[in-house]
Amino acid sequence: MLAGAPGRPSLLPGMKEFFSGQAARMTVSIPEISAVSWSSFMTGTQAGDHGIYGFVDLAPGSYQVRFPDFRDLKAEPFFIELGAHGKRSVIINLPATYPARPVPGVLISGFVALELERAVFPARYLPMLRKAGYQIDVDAGKGRDRKAEFLADLHYALKVRQQVADRLWKQEDWDVFMFTVTGTDRLQHFLYDAYTDERHEFHSEFRGFFHEVDKAAVDFLQRAAARPDLEVVALSDHGFGPIRSEIYLNQVLKKNGFFSSEDPGAKGLPGISGRATAFALDPSRLYIHRKGKYPRGVVADADYEKVRRDLRDLFTAYEVGGQRAIRRVYYAEELYAGRQLAAAPDLLLLSEPGCDLKGGMEKDRETGTSHFTGMHRQDNAFLACSRPDLIAASPTIFDVKGLMYRLLAI
């Protein structure tokens, strides 16, 4: 897919030829981040069922940040369910699946995976991955000020993953084969401006990487086409677009009297005061500082709805540079339902394109820019299928699991 293509998503040339035209435009989870969207894809449910609301959460009864992982997923992923139907899956580089657990087939966890040793099932593939030079992820920090090295790392990681996928394609007995490319995400976060500006130092390199991704995809698509028993699904877990401004939500809350710290110079949520009525977690989640739920919580049950309304009104009207910044403010129950609803944020913000929402606990201003030039979008992901007649009129990421099951006749 072309990065951030406006309107109907446009597939890369080789993929477009294979799918005989355009991809469907797909909406994804809110927040529009990989941990939530890929969890929704693999379970066919929203976060109220699967329990993954973001890359970070708070440890119960504290203000310490923790990183939920595959063990926190409360709904069954499709590749576990398929085992009950006697089907085996090969899953390569899928985010939100670390640490790898036993599956009917092969699982190589993707972002955020900390150690290769715990990212692979079965473990017998570890020597092969080490010998190949397999990397779980590139060092994204290089995207700030070592961009040439960053680009070289992206090419290397893609090449090695493709070699590993090639071997597993031939060696394993499988019914479902999934290969996830995450380098396009890393590239667009740091170099989206290179995509849109032909004079940019790295414009050619940006497009060159997408060309490599297209070649890798076409290689597997052509193999699939040679087997009449196979159908193909291609998708992204979110869309992309340029950043106009970052918005630091805790600083907005602070300016408007919702957030305060015990020590005015303190950075981080552990310093929140007993006067604060709300706080934010990345990227777009608002939590009401409720009495009994948080150690220094102050908002009584009787005041909860008023605080929610005040927060909704604040962000509905919030502007940056005279332009509306928030497309919609959701209450949790408008997006989520299920057994994990109690863990949901109280409000969710969906920004206007170009407004990149962040917690910004360490910032001293409400808005600004940084080394990031590209941001996720919820409304311009893509979905393509070798059976386009099976794609819903307005597909969402929650529909993809059902589409796969129809293709598998389950």
Q: How confident is the model at residue 22 (pLDDT cuts 50, 70, 90)?
A: confident
- Percent of the chain residues topping a pLDDT of 90: 93
The average pLDDT across 163-169 equals 97
Q: Determine how β-strand 323-324 pairs with β-strand 326-331.
A: unpaired
Whether 232 shows a pLDDT value over 80: the answer reads: yes
The average pLDDT across 192-201 equals 95
Whether 9 shows a pLDDT value over 90: the answer reads: no
Q: What is the pLDDT of residue 390?
A: 94
The domains of the chain are located at 13-242+374-407, 245-368
The average pLDDT across 371-386 equals 96
The average pLDDT across 44-61 equals 96
Whether 250 shows a pLDDT value over 80: the answer reads: yes
Q: What is the pLDDT of residue 350?
A: 98
Torsion of CA 212, 216, 221, 227, to 10 degrees: 150
CATH 3.30.2090.10 for domain 13-242+374-407? no
User: Looking at the domain 245-368, which fold is it?
Assistant: Gyrase A; domain 2 (3.30.1360)
CB neighbour list of residue 410: distance below 8 Å, 6 or more residues apart: 82, 85
Q: What is the pLDDT of residue 357?
A: 98
Q: What is the pLDDT of residue 6?
A: 40
Whether 77 shows a pLDDT value over 50: the answer reads: yes
Please give the mean pLDDT across all residues of the chain.
95
Q: How confident is the model at residue 8 (pLDDT cuts 50, 70, 90)?
A: low
